């Protein structure tokens, strides 16, 4: 029902209180839904999607080191780099052994086609 000049009739104080009380509950539900969605997206990006890719690669015979949730294979890369540092030879033609020693180690362990994240 339209009133003069497009104004709505004033609400009683009880109606105003009920309207204000329902807003935070509605916002809380929206925040809860948003947080759950953000958590799902984060989980999907950090774990589910990469795990699905690893599963497909394993089915095709491509193996590799098992990554951790947040670090991936970074800890193992660092460990290999520190273990091979004393044995490192300066070979100017082979920059891969200097920059990426973990690739050479994983190539020996997992074969020519190894995946890492």
DSSP letters, 49-98, are HHHHHHHHHHHTT-B-PPPBTTTBTHHHHHHHHHHHTTT----TT-HHHH
Each residue of 6-51: pLDDT tens digit? Answer: 556 666 666 666 655 555 666 667 778 888 899 998 888 888 888 8
Sign of the C-alpha dihedral, residues 51, 52, 56, 57?
negative
Q: CA 100 to CA 103: how far, in whole Å?
A: 6
- Could you tell me which residue, 91 or 71, shows the higher pLDDT? 71
Q: For the chain, give every domain's residue range.
A: 1-60, 64-117
111 pLDDT tier (thresholds 50, 70, 90): confident
Residue 60: closest CA among 104, 117, 115, 116: 115
CB 114 within 8 A of CB 106: yes
More confident residue, 10 or 95: 95
User: Taking residues 59-81, what's their average pLDDT?
Assistant: 85
């Amino acid at each position: 029902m339209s009133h003069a000049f497009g104004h709505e009739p004033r609400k009683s104080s009880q109606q105003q209180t009920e309207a204000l009380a329902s807003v935070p509950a509605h916002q809380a539900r929206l925040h809860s839904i948003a947080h759950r969605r953000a958590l799902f997206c984060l989980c999907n990006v950090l774990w589910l999607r990469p795990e699905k890719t690893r599963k497909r690669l394993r089915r095709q015979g491509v193996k590799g080191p098992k990554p951790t949730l947040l670090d991936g294979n970074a800890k193992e890369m660092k460990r290999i780099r520190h273990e091979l540092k004393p044995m490192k030879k300066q070979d100017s033609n082979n920059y891969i052994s200097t920059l990426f020693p973990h690739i050479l180690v994983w190539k020996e362990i997992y074969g020519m086609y190894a995946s890492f994240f």
